[in-house]
Chains A and B, each alone.
Chain A
Amino acid sequence: MVDQKNQKIPIWRDERFWRIALQVLAVVIFVGIAALLIGNLNRNLAQQGNNLGFGFLKNEAGFSISETLISYKPKDPYSQVLLAGLVNSLRVMILGIIFTTIVGILAGIASFSENWLLRQLNRIYVEVVRNTPLLLQLFFWYFVVFFSLPKPENKIELLGSIFMSKRGIAIPWPANTVTVWLGLLVLGMGGVVAVFIWRWRNQLMTEKAQSGQPQLIALIMMAIVSILIIIFALGWQAPKALATGGTEGGLNLTLELSALLVGLVFYTGAFIAEIVRAGIQSVPKGQWEAAKSLGLKSGLVIRLVIFPQALRVMIPSLNSQYMNLAKNSSLAIAIGYPDLYAVSNTTYNQTGRPVEVFILIMAAYLSINLIISLSMNLLNKTVQIKER
């Protein structure tokens, strides 16, 4: 008995004790700091005679915004204007992510081009854009590039259907009618069917050694039909110039939206170009040589052998670039685009409720970025090496 008691290690040298104690300490510190901060906030708010609450969202907003995709009038409540801002933000983020991916991949591949001039131009683009502040670039696009467009009275006209002036860039766009939506539905279903036919054709060709000709002809027919649908059934509306200097019909992209979109696309694109370059370089040289020795052309080498392997390296870094783009879109306020942050700014300024509004902004950006992250992680899973 005595021996056993002596052998018992003291508590401060017991690893099991420390494992628990450190966790408890961390929790105590965290809770303590949080309680201090929240208590401080409550005291300060009480001193000003304000209490936290979201009731103000039902009040009339009373200010107008320059563009919105959903219906919003100044007499609508704050919740509606915040929603309109959120939709405007999402518009920039979604379009931005699509276009920046295209720009980034093209620029990344261009860095492997055999053409010396293209390689150098690409290098200049990546280095200049990557190493200057985004806000500066947005001002450049807005005030220098897009403001060099003429005044509305003498707007530039391209092909009679595209108008460019300081009031915005008007392009033809499908009208919002039932037939258009039907056409889009048909196109979407056709796309799904085409994917299945393509897979079926590949299967027939690899497993049964068939030619795949009939399926190819079917696919070409489908392509022709969908091009016809796109051209004729979508009811494209060309914008018309008005006497007041504005335009009517079609889609008017304001200078604010265009500058923000172009700025974000080229800025993020430069980073993505480097990610693509790194991804491609991470594929061992042997893979290039092996693919070439099979007789594949260089386009096919990249598409079938190199790119799928490069994607495994690229997607995790792409994820953070997409999230950066989403967050950077809040710089819209500097050039007058009414995104979520811009309308929130006006909202908290008018209502005097910065804490509540900032909670809303944080929640919105957090959920958007978590959704981006989640979808990129799903994508990541599909491209990883499948171990059988």
Chain B
Amino acid sequence: MIRWKSILVTTLLMVLPLTACETPAPTPPANSQAPSSPAATTSRLETVKSRGKLICGVDGGIPGFSYVDQDGKYSGIDVDVCRAVAAALFNDPNAVEYRNLDSTERFTALSSGEVDMLARNTTWTISRDTSVGLEFAPTTFYDGQGMMVRADSGIKTLKDLQGKSVCVESGTTSELNLTDNLRKQAVEAETVTFQQAEPAYAAYAEGRCDGITSDKSQLVARRSNLPNPEEHILLEVTMSKEPLGPVTINNDSAWFDAVKWVTYALIEGEELGITQANVDEMKTSTDPTIKRFLGIEGDLGKGMGLSNDFAYNVIKQVGNYGEVYDRNLGEKSQFKLPRGQNDLWTNGGLLYSPPFR
């Protein structure tokens, strides 16, 4: 009898907390059912500000974009975007903690809140923007997918890859574009997929694959790390468009706005001719556009929860987009990549910032 009673009591008590836990549960989702109202939950912007430093997800292995050198120092265009955001928030470009993420980890790390933002060669696509639940800040590098092969392999076009094998990093748009392009041309090639870039490039270097595919800029950067860079060529094909830019999580417009307008500030700074060197003189400029941009007039920064002179801090600490590009990928770097599409719209490129007004 005692046993039956105890079972009865136990089940009763088991159900009780269940209902007890169920009743308060609907209230918090009811709040977050309307996620468009940012007041319901704390914005990541406040979290980052109170933490006092930015946690930025980067690749860490691509020279020119984000690369850790022997002293553990990060450099590259993606790293400079992180530094610009930190400069805007804290007036200190070094208040950044970097996390190296591989291509399959990155979105989970972002949505779980492990990193505040990604600046990690991430291609802006509709499915990532919508169903994966990300927000894409303005493109900082317009790229296209290429194919690298050995110069002595005789491969000239994608058709020549019939029966050959191609190495690719998993979880990237490159993986999908490769499949699409091979399907379109009815080429049967083996694709060998690696989770991380290092084994993929090692497998290519060792001759496991006849070709390796990725964004062109990345191929150029990685080629510089191969044993004999001059033995490898890029095919004259562009398999896709790859707009790369910083990423934040969906439904947090306060934080997204901050990252978006810091990125635009880099571009606008170049357009207005404000550089790291002349930013202090520019403060005395009579041009109202420049005055507003640098926070002498108006309160553009306050409106989004930053200081009014956030753009001044960004340019002062990191430089404008042109300086960032030259330092990492352009004339002053080992790659000497021409600006091409990554020039201001006034110079025939694609970079265009909406007005700071």
Q: Which residues of A contact B (CB under 8 A)?
A: 16, 19-20, 23-24, 27-28, 31-32, 35, 39, 42-44, 46-50, 56, 62-67, 74-75, 139, 143, 147, 151, 166-167, 242, 244-246, 255-256, 333-336, 338, 342, 345-346, 348-352, 354
A27/B28 contact (C-beta < 8 A), A46-B33, A255-B208 known: no
Q: Shortest distance in angstroms between A254's beta carbon and chain B's nearest beta carbon?
A: 8
Minimum CB–CB distance from A70 to chain B (whole Å) comes to 17
Is residue B103 contacting chain A, with contact meaning CB distance below 8 A? yes
- In chain B, positions 179-220 with a C-beta closer than 8 Å to chain A are 179-180, 182-183, 190-196, 199-200, 202-203, 206-208
Interface residues of B in 41-68 (CB under 8 A from A): 41
Complex CA–CA separation, A167 to B303 (angstroms): 59
Which residues on the B side are within 8 Å of A166 (C-beta)? 206-208
With A42-B29, A62-B180, A346-B175: A242-B193 Cβ-Cβ less than 8 Å: no
Residues of the B chain whose Cβ atoms lie less than 8 Å from the Cβ of A62:
176, 179-180
How many contacting A-B pairs (Cβ < 8 A)?
157
Identify the 8 closest CB pairs spanning chains A and B, nearest first: A352-B132, A349-B171, A35-B21, A48-B133, A244-B163, A147-B206, A20-B6, A24-B13
Q: Is the CB of B207 within 8 A of A43?
A: no
Interface size on B, residues (CB 8 A): 59
- Chain A residues contacting B251 (CB-CB under 8 Å) are 47-49
A31, B18: Cβ atoms closer than 8 Å = yes
Residues of chain B within 8 A (CB-CB) of A32 are: 17, 21
Instruction: For A43, give its contact among B28, B133, B203 (CB under 8 Å).
Output: B28
Provided the pairs A48-B249, A62-B176, A342-B193 are in contact, do residues A354 and B108 lie with their beta carbons within 8 angstroms?
Answer: yes
- Does A147 contact B10, Cβ atoms closer than 8 Å? no
Query: Whole-angstrom distance between the alpha carbons of A49 and B33 in the complex?
Result: 9
Q: Is B250 an interface residue (CB 8 A)?
A: yes
B107: chain A residues at CB < 8 Å are 349, 352, 354
Give the contacts of B102-135 with A (CB-CB under 8 A): 103-104, 107-108, 111, 127-128, 131-134
B277 interface residue, CB < 8 Å from A? no
In the complex, the answer to whether A27 meets B103 with C-beta atoms within 8 Å is no
CA distance A327 to B190 in the complex (A): 27
Chain B residues lying within 8 Å of A49, measured Cβ to Cβ, are 35, 133, 250-251
Q: Is residue B164 contacting chain A, with contact meaning CB distance below 8 A? A: yes
- Asked if residues B6 and A74 are in contact (CB atoms below 8 Å), the reply is no
9 A-B contact pairs sorted by A residue (CB < 8 Å): A35-B21, A47-B251, A56-B131, A74-B183, A242-B163, A334-B196, A350-B127, A352-B128, A352-B131
Contact across chains for A336 and B203 when beta carbons are under 8 A apart = yes
Closest A residue to B103 using CB positions: A349
Q: A47-B251, A336-B203 are in contact. Are A24 and B10 (CB under 8 A)?
A: yes
Residues of chain A within 8 A of B41, CB atoms compared: 47
Closest to A256 in B: B192
Q: B196 — which chain A residues lie within 8 A by C-beta?
A: 334
Closest chain-A Cβ to B156's Cβ sits at a distance in Å of: 15
Residues of B within 8 A of A147 (CB): 203, 206-208
Is the pair A66, B191 in contact by a Cβ cutoff of 8 Å? yes
